[in-house]
Structure 1
Amino acid sequence: MAKTRQIRYIIFLKDVLILALTCFGGPQVHLTMFLDRLVKKHNYITEAEILELQALCQVLPGPTSTQTITAIGFRLGGPSLAYLTLFVWVLPGTLLMTLAALGVTYVDKNQLTNLTRFIKPMGVAFIFFAAYSIGLKVIKTKTSVVLMVLSAIAAYLFRSPYITPIWILLGGLATSFKFDQHEKMEKQPIKIEWANFILWVGVLIFSVVLGAVTHSLPVRLFENFYRNGSLAFGGGHILKPLLYNEFVEFKHYLSADEFLSGVAIVEVAPGPVFSIAAFVGSLSMREWGTIGEILGSISATMGIFLPGTFLIFFVIRFWNELKKYRGIRASLEGINAASTGLTGAAAISLFQPMSTDLVADLTIILTLILLQTRLVPTYLIIFGGLFLGWIIT
């Protein structure tokens, strides 16, 4: 029996690696691929369970897709498998972003722009398709339609990083009042294990104190990214302005052009969008040489991913009991609806600057057709875009 479990865990980690190498875009895009491989193909978890986990991770700070796939690993094999899942999922994107940081000073800006010429509209198409695909699964009532539309309008009109957590919480609150439409379930007293919550707070305080005492740049970078990872509600789209304000505008570790290059490259990188932290952390320590850049990447990566991991480990232990409360289950409808609207708004905002570019428009349409018909695997679509960009370069 134990050997069978080990084999299943190895197969699961292989699937995580495949996803880490082929998932492009944000958490909603990742979710569609999680559903295909982890639910439909290998049945590690049910569709309802993964949607519940995704909704739960939406209201926690940190990288949503990373927390979701780590939570699945936790359910399958406990903390050990969860930490292995986190490592396998994060590694490819982080390595790519570190290499990009090491080589960014040697790449001509115009060459980089040409190389990503088709990738940017493809990224917009992925986000549109994600909003459509997830919407088909979660938008089932008039209330959810209204919440989706309102959250999309709000996010489009008010380009603030605070809109995402506000509307996710408002969506959950709005549908929680529909608790009487859900069947009653026998509830047990909720036993909360505080260890991971204490760990989350403890690591933050310890890193702040250690950085202040030692003035060590790697320690201070870890604390900076750990703090940002603890505040980033809503995924990578929220993280980017947080990092820009701190590391470009305030600390001047990077130039605006360097940061925007990282934003373009991370759209090409597989895995979590939060891997942009490796790029920023690496360039923040470029004065230390190559070893310093690698150390900066490691400090930033650990700092950005650990807080969200500690928090999901804290909540997942009592989530099964918490969701037995009808108000909690009812709130998931609004959380998913608001998330869909926010995703659609992000796609529209990103599409606007390229709306008059015929090549970009055609690229988006062709990519949507390929995604809908599933004629070409996702990774081949991305590599095709890179190949066309390389020809231009």
Structure 2
Amino acid sequence: MWRKPKHVEFLWDVLVLAMTSFGGVQVHIALFLKKLVKEKGYLTEDELFEIQALCSFLPGPTSTQMITAIGYKRGGANLAYVTLIAWISPAVFVMTLAAFGMTYLRNRDIIQFVTPVGIGLILQAGWIMAQKFLRAPMYILIFLFTVAIGLYIQSPFIFPVLLLIGGLISSLNFKDFPRQNKHKMIIPWANFHLFWGFLVFLAVLGHFTDYYPIRIFENFYRNGSLVFGGGQVLVPVLFTEFVEFKHLIREDDFLTGMTLSQTLPGPVFALTSYLGVLLMKDYGTIGELAGSVIGALGIFLPGTFLIFFVYRIWGQLKQYRFIRASLPGIQSVSVGLTIVAVYAFIHPMIIQANLIGFGIVVVTFLVAQMTKLPPIALFVIALLAGIIVS
């Protein structure tokens, strides 16, 4: 009797998420919670938020690192790599096609109702997290402090600082956590050495060979190694480097790709595939396709190397009480940052008096909270409504 290969269902669910997860990392986390935790039970809520807290400290695409870590948890390194490919492939494919001329997709009217749906799902995820983590005065104060600072200092570079502060404050409660038998830590340094070693190797190789594909690979890898805060931070960094400083890409071409990357499901970091094609336009079709691969590998590899390194030692780190005690504080900060993200999205609606958009946010929150309607259905309805209206 034929038996379905192991992990096929999980990989299919990842692929479905990759094709339906509009709206950036906050929406991705909400959908991971609904699909992978509540519907399929691949991991628990605690495990998901633990992975989120861990990935929040690392540079690179947070949602991509999260889904890769989930794959690693379920099936080791091999499944993690396949999970990564399943997650990034749809967005990379569409962005590559877009660079070859599918610019008509820049019609934002089609997705005008998708963003409010995404905001509603973010709000619902924040509500679930708040109920779970804000159960003591200390954590409520950390949450309020995060919201206040996040709204006052509107820079993504403050996020890792807030996570660190929240973790440090919360770690003072270490005496409330039971002791565990400590074992000598065994740290597999290979992936960490791959992370920084590859960066140095590419920089040196690009300098001495001056080979153009190597140099742009190094550019993408360097940005993937240093950017905290997700796609909203990566975009201006890449714009400064490739448009304003090196003049390798025209401004209107870059903005077209940026618009597409923010309207498609999956990781916003897939923008680099589009840019890779444009950067290799003088190398023919094969060169342009290679540029797409260079852009994707360059931006996603650093975060993958890091999450493989950190996740492998995470189980050992948790034997220390102050590490376990820091997690509720980090998670309280995550709740605060979620509310900051909701405000950032809703603020333009308030300025523009967009009552329809605001109403969609509220309806989406209530539907997600009170029914079992899958998020994909909400996104499909929003897309169809946008197509009809546009």
TM-score of the superposition, structure 2-length normalised? 0.90
Shift of 1:310: 0.5
Q: 2:193 corresponds to which residue?
A: 198
Q: Please provide the CA RMSD for this pair.
A: 2.4
Tell me, yes or no, if structure 1 residue 349 matches structure 2 residue 344.
yes
Following superposition, the deviation at residue 41 of structure 1 comes to: 3.6
Describe how 1:1-393 pairs up with structure 2 within 5 A. Answer: 7-104=5-102, 106-107=103-104, 112-288=107-283, 290-355=285-350, 356-374=353-371, 376-393=373-390
The question of whether the paired residues in 1 share the 8 Å contact of 2:23 and 2:115 is answered with no
1:156, 1:346 within 8 Å by CA — same for their partners in 2? no
CA distance in 1, matches of 2:340, 2:250: 28
Counterpart amino acid of residue 310 in structure 1: F
> Which secondary structure state, in structure 2, belongs to the residue aligned with residue 103 of structure 1?
coil
Distance 2:249 2:366 in 1: 38
Label 1:340 to 1:274 Cα distance change in 2 as closer, same or farther (>3 A): farther
Measured after TM superposition, the shift of residue 199 of structure 1 is: 0.8
Distance 2:148 2:213 in 1: 41
CA gap of 1:90–1:151, structure 2 versus 1, over 3 A, is: same
Q: Cα offset for 1:241?
A: 3.0
Shift of 1:147: 1.6
TM-score (norm 1): 0.89
Equivalent position amino acid for 2:319 in 1? K
Any idea what SS the aligned residue of 1:100 has?
helix
Query: What letter corresponds to residue 247 of structure 1 in structure 2?
Result: F
CA contact (8 A) 1:266 1:273 kept: yes
Q: Secondary structure at the match of 1:162?
A: helix
The 3-state SS of whatever aligns with 1:324 is coil
State whether residues 31 and 375 of structure 2, in contact with CA within 8 Å, keep that contact through their aligned partners in structure 1. Answer: no
Structure 1: distance between partners of 2:279 and 2:117: 30
For structure 2, which runs of at least 5 residues remain unmatched after alignment? none
Deviations 1:301-331 (A, max 9, x none): 1011111111111112221111111111111
Give the whole-Å Cα distance in 1 for the aligned partners of 2:70 and 2:359: 37
- Residues 202 and 214, structure 2, Cα contact 8 Å, conserved in 1: yes
Deviation of 1:290 (Å): 4.4
Q: Which moved more, 1:296-305 or 1:131-140?
A: 131-140
CA distance in 2, matches of 1:376, 1:23: 15
- Deviation (angstroms), 1:151: 1.6
CA shift for structure 1 position 160: 1.9
Moved more, 258-267 or 293-302: 258-267
| TM-fit CA distance, 1:211 | 1.9
Which moves more between the two structures, 45-54 or 360-369? 360-369
Q: Is the 8 A contact 1:102 1:290 kept in 2?
A: no
> Between Structure 1 and Structure 2, how many residues are aligned?
387
* Inter-partner Cα distance in structure 2 for 1:256 and 1:338: 36
CA contact (8 A) 1:98 1:297 kept: yes
8 Å contact from structure 1 (residues 152, 342) kept in 2:
yes
Q: CA 1:21 to 1:218, structure 2 compared with 1: closer, same or farther past 3 Å?
A: same
Aligned counterparts of 2:57 and 2:358: Cα–Cα separation in 1: 33
Q: Residue 256 of structure 1: CA displacement?
A: 4.7
Contact kept, 8 Å, 1:90 with 1:275, in 2: the verdict is yes
Deviations 1:44-68 (A, max 9, x none): 3332222211111111112222212
